[in-house]
């Protein structure tokens, strides 16, 4: 039986932990009315449903028709943003004008509704110096803990934003005071977020009121079940009067009616600038502990493989020394043997062949074996005529094949030596 390697044991253990891990707690703002996670709305929905007047869930366009004629009721939306069409804005304005109440907790008031409630002068002209994409109407602040105040009583509430059971900085929206510049409108500040800005306003319209709260996170489960923080959402929601509550789920995002034509769905993907929040697949993985653990285990395993096993595996290549050029040593040995035998003519013939090879390859002199040296050798080599003539004289002696003595061989060497220097 093959013994398991430590790598196999480690990978197997990680796989078991990934499959058997405890479910994680999602710590992102889902605003799901059935969600029991910290930033879901299950607690708020159940509390409102327990009221004697009850709660009505609006999930499609036919449900929205219930708002067309009722009075003395309340409309509630809590979420990132309310996606109203023009028809919905008109319906809400008529609904409030008849004496009903709208409580809107979102990051900002949709533009089609906001310019009615704040007035054109305050919503547009007061912000002409800012770009279209500016958030100056509803600026954000980065805080983990703050003190919120409720007017006109001036009550204060200490609030702490938490993620993974530790205080964490959140982006909280506020309402610019420029939006309340028109004193002729029945608008009133009801709450502020410490010194950061306004976060709760009443906007009168006809016989009813719009109430806008810029921090929907404070109405989620985490703050409703906290023994201290629950007083804040309770106080904010006290503006809701008697009568049934209409909970709007339909406008949490654009939904297409079966009878309507094609419609473009807004997507929150930001092209890579916010990969986790803008990618629903990665967000889903991050919100579940077992999937997140498996995901990071996979990434770690790939990284370790690349580092330790991804390299090409082969035997060590031995260092092979370069081959020694023994040609010169061979020539020296042969020359020494020929010299010892006294065959000086043979030595001179070998040296003459070496000179011819040198001139052919270094100077481009066409001098073939068995032929005399070219007549223009002095011109080609750039040597004095006398030096070249002395060399040619000795070359002719060697080519004649006469027997050479030691002195003749030495004189031949000295005569051709200048030709090697060119």
pLDDT tens, 218-232? 999 999 998 889 999
Residue 318 corresponds to which tokens in the numbers above? 């031995």
In DSSP terms, which residues pair with 55 in a beta bridge?
Answer: 245
State the Cα–Cα distance between residues 10 and 301, nearest whole angstrom.
10
State the Cα–Cα distance between residues 276 and 292, nearest whole angstrom.
12
66 and 100 Cβ atoms separated by less than 8 Å: no
Residue 208 lies in a domain: yes
H helices of 98-241, in order, are: 111-118, 120-123, 221-225, 231-236
Residues 6+ apart with CB under 8 A from 292: 24, 285, 286
> 67 — phi, psi (to 5°)?
-85, -5
Residue 302 lies in a domain: no
222 and 160 Cβ atoms separated by less than 8 Å: no
Residues 6+ apart with CB under 8 A from 312: none
State the Cα–Cα distance between residues 390 and 351, nearest whole angstrom.
16
Do residues 94 and 233 both lie within one domain? yes
- Which residue, 213, 231, 255, sits at the end of a domain? 255
Do residues 157 and 248 both lie within one domain? yes
CATH code (residue 29): 3.40.50
Do residues 189 and 49 both lie within one domain? yes
Do residues 352 and 228 both lie within one domain? no
Residue 191 lies in a domain: yes
Q: Is 122 left (phi over 0), alpha (psi -120 to 50) or beta?
A: alpha
Do residues 193 and 49 both lie within one domain? yes
The kind and range of the H/E element at 77 are strand 74-78
Residue 291 lies in a domain: no
pLDDT for 108:
94
State the Cα–Cα distance between residues 248 and 110, nearest whole angstrom.
15
Do residues 223 and 341 both lie within one domain? no
Q: Which domain holds residue 367?
A: 327-420
pLDDT for 283:
72
User: How many domains does the chain contain in total?
Assistant: 2
Do residues 377 and 232 both lie within one domain? no
pLDDT for 259:
38
Residue 103 lies in a domain: yes
Q: Is 303 helix (H, G, I), strand (E, B) or coil?
A: helix
Do residues 74 and 208 both lie within one domain? yes
Q: Is 346 helix (H, G, I), strand (E, B) or coil?
A: helix
Do residues 42 and 128 both lie within one domain? yes
Residue 301 lies in a domain: no
CA nearest neighbour of 213 among 157, 175, 159: 175
Do residues 49 and 139 both lie within one domain? yes
pLDDT tens, N- to C-terminus, the chain (422 residues):
455 556 656 666 666 555 555 556 788 899 999 999 999 999 999 999 999 999 999 998 888 999 999 999 999 999 999 989 999 999 999 999 999 999 999 999 999 999 999 998 999 888 877 655 457 899 999 999 999 999 998 899 999 999 888 999 999 999 999 999 999 999 999 999 999 999 999 999 999 999 999 999 999 999 999 888 999 999 999 999 899 999 999 998 654 444 334 434 344 444 444 555 556 677 777 767 788 888 889 988 888 887 777 666 667 778 888 877 776 677 677 767 766 666 777 777 878 888 888 888 877 777 777 777 877 777 777 788 888 888 888 888 887 777 777 787 788 778 888 877 75
Residues 6+ apart with CB under 8 A from 283: 28, 276, 277
The kind and range of the H/E element at 420 are helix 406-420
- Which residue, 255, 285, 302, sits at the end of a domain? 255
- Which residue, 255, 287, 307, sits at the end of a domain? 255
Do residues 225 and 357 both lie within one domain? no
CA nearest neighbour of 146 among 106, 103, 195: 195
Residue 106 lies in a domain: yes
Do residues 226 and 348 both lie within one domain? no
Residue 12 lies in a domain: no
CA angle, residues 422, 392, 373, in degrees to nearest 5 = 75
pLDDT for 157:
96
pLDDT for 26:
81
Rg (CA), the chain: 48
pLDDT for 257:
40
């Amino acid at each position: 039986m093959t013994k398991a390697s430590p790598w196999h044991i480690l990978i197997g253990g990680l796989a078991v932990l990934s499959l058997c891990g405890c479910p994680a707690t999602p710590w992102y703002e889902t605003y799901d009315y059935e969600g029991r996670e910290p930033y879901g709305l299950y607690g708020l929905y159940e509390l409102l449903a327990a009221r004697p007047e009850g709660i009505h869930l609006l999930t499609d366009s036919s449900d929205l028709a219930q708002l067309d004629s009722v009075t003395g009721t309340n409309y509630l939306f809590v979420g990132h943003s309310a996606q109203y069409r023009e028809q919905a804005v008109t319906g809400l304005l008529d609904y409030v004008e008849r004496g009903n109440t709208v409580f809107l907790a979102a990051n900002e008031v949709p533009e089609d509704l906001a310019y009615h409630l704040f007035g054109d002068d305050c919503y547009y002209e007061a912000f002409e110096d800012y770009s279209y994409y500016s958030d100056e109407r509803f600026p954000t602040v980065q805080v983990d803990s703050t003190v919120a105040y409720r007017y006109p009583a001036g009550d204060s509430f200490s609030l702490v934003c938490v993620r993974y059971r530790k205080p964490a900085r959140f982006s909280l929206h506020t309402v610019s005071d420029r939006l309340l510049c028109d004193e002729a409108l029945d608008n009133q500040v009801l709450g502020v977020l410490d010194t950061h800005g306004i976060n709760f306003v009443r906007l009168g319209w006809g016989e009813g009121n719009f109430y806008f709260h810029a921090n929907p996170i404070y109405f989620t489960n985490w703050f409703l079940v906290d023994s201290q923080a629950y007083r804040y959402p309770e106080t904010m929601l006290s503006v809701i009067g008697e009568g049934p509550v209409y909970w709007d789920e339909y406008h949490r995002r654009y939904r297409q009616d079966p009878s309507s034509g094609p419609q473009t769905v807004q997507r929150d993907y930001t092209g890579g600038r916010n990969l986790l929040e803008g990618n629903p697949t990665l967000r889903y993985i991050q919100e579940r502990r077992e999937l997140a653990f498996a995901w990071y285990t996979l990434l770690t395993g790939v990284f370790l493989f690349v580092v330790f096993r991804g390299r090409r595996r082969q035997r060590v290549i031995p260092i092979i020394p370069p081959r020694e050029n023994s040609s010169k040593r061979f020539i020296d040995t042969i020359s020494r043997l020929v010299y010892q035998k006294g065959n000086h003519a043979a030595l001179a013939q070998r040296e003459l062949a070496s000179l011819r090879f040198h001139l052919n390859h270094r100077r481009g002199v066409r001098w073939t074996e068995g032929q005399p040296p070219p007549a223009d050798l002095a011109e080609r080599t750039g040597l004095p005529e006398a030096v070249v003539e002395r060399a040619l004289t000795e070359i002719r002696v060697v080519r004649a094949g006469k027997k050479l003595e030691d002195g003749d061989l030495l004189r031949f060497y000295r005569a051709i030596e200048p030709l090697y220097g060119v």
